[in-house]
Structure 1
Amino acid sequence: MAILKIKFNVQMRVKLAQGMWLLNWFCVLVGIVIFGMGLFLKIELRKRSELMDNQESHLVPNSLILVGLMACAINCFGGKFCYDSLDPAKYARWKSVLKFYLASCVFFTFFTFITVVLCFLMRIDLEDTLAKGLKNGMKFYRDTDTPGRCFMKKTIDQLQIEFRCCGNNGFRDWFEIQWISNRYLDFSSKEVKDRVKSNVEGRFLVDGVPFSCCNPASPRPCIQQQITNSSAHYSYDFQSEELNLWTRGCKQALLNYYANMMHSMGALVLLGWLLEVTAMVGMQYLHTSLDSITNPEDPECESEGWLMEKSLKDTITSMLESIKELGKLNQVATATEEEKKQEGTTVATVS
């Protein structure tokens, strides 16, 4: 028994075909936008790839790019079908591929929905990736003379200035690493020797931060050395000088930046998914209403369209049987090819 059956006359079929034609081409435009968003996100992630611990974060932009390309291809095909559907001669040429097309639409809408979910869950993966990447990047901040790491100081300074952040979770993270290169330390100085000896790993640790942590909105010149020593600076109280440095960590700043971007992209992809589901349902009604025309010589007669010809359980069962039949056909074709090869070998041996 058909599900959600609707009766169509010729005017309804024409309006449905025209509406689906417009909707499919609008979905093509949405696909182009999604493709552009995927490229933009991929570029943004690559710009800061040295501050990320792995490449798994590129799963989302790659999925967006693929969704955009698939949307353009599938909806271009759908638009062409809608344009030709009201011509019986042209429609007859499309009938053999319509079932494959509708199955492709089902797979595409499922994949698009998975991409929407990934857009909203990307923050979880990025949080761990950025935490490890930023921590390692800060360790290499001082290696300005080391090949492959000499760019890290510039990268982190630009990051802290652009996003108004300091350190991984906060400016205190700089107190735990040696961010000043040995090249710029005077090891004949007693103060330097004492600081190096007082550390188990022989590092030069100070309660200071790079210049890029300074907040230009501070009413006084930036204090970036001996930050926790209130007596080292005139009229300075470490606990109350909140404007002196950026207090937000760069991990949180980048997470907010990417999360806001991904939520916007996820909302647009969700809209695209809703449009694709609508287009798929409309195409199914158009296809079935044209197939059920009882008198092909009278195109103005009434017909019936439906969402599914059988129940959901029967539809899934028939789809599985079709897949099994395709598998059997492939096995038969393979066996036939092997028999031909064996016959050819036998003939060659006899000769």
Structure 2
Amino acid sequence: MASGVASVVSGVGSFLPPRIIGNEDPPLTALDTTGEWIRSRTGIERRRWVEPGTSTGDLAVQAGRAALRSAGYPVVDLVVLTTTTPDHPSPATAPWVAAQLGLGTIAAFDIAAACSGFTYALAAANAWITSRQAQCVLVVAAETLSTITDPSDRGTAVVFADGAGAAVLRSGHLEEPGAIQAVLLGSDGTQKNLAVVNSGGSRQPDTEGTAARADRCLQMRGPDMFAHAVRRMTEVSRLLMERLEWPVESLGAFIGHQANQRILDKVADLVGVPAASRFANIREVGNTSSASIPLVMNDLVTAATVPAGARTLLTAFGGGAVWGAVALNWPDIKPSS
């Protein structure tokens, strides 16, 4: 940490598309499944999907605007957008989002770290602030996973959802509520096929538009993903708390990537997190990939659930394979609306 400078969460916001898909609603009813099967294996009862024509950038603008409102409309130096579903393969989506928010010609870039994207984006923002390259950073995590999901694939169609969450970070002090205390990230590229969209990149171009639908959509090895997610989220959480000398019973809030309720429960059990400190919203919004953690954070700020300054641990695992954890003091901020 450079000269005692810390990055402090000063605002949060979120946006969910209005279209709600319940477990018993079309098109899920066309799958070989039931609402109870989905609930028992994922913990999900409903999720949000965008309407045709709505992009990831559209959701990001709404969430970013809410976070800026929550933070009191500060002067922003940088926008970091994390997503698996950018508006275009090129260019990045972040500059367009910054422009739509009226932030001028500031720096803006995308991060592709799948479901761990928010932890990676927080790490990037933290680095810019603590190195004094920026005073204020807007981090946005936005996904329209329904646009890359095969509706006939039961393993993904019932899980993935759309939404966006955002956080504003400003320069401050380590002792403040909202201050990031430490970050720990990891990756293992040998496991890149845990969750992958095979077609459309330089390794498997689809210039003729003839790729099979399965190759154009996200494919996931569910059981393997479950095992790796539990292992890595548990490890990184333990390591970060050991580094900070935080006893697990001192945690006031533990927020894992909302991949699957059974994964969340298993990780929290293995880490030893008290039941009162575990928070989730997967039942209502599904798996929104990188957006899931900030969506939970915004819910908790809105409900004033966690006291300012409480020790908080965020952890995630995603395709790549990538994982991360961020430790912070719970922020002292007001809801965005």
Instruction: Tell me the TM-score normalised to structure 1 length.
Output: 0.20
Identify, as 1 or 2, the structure richer in strand: 2
TM-score by length of 2: 0.20
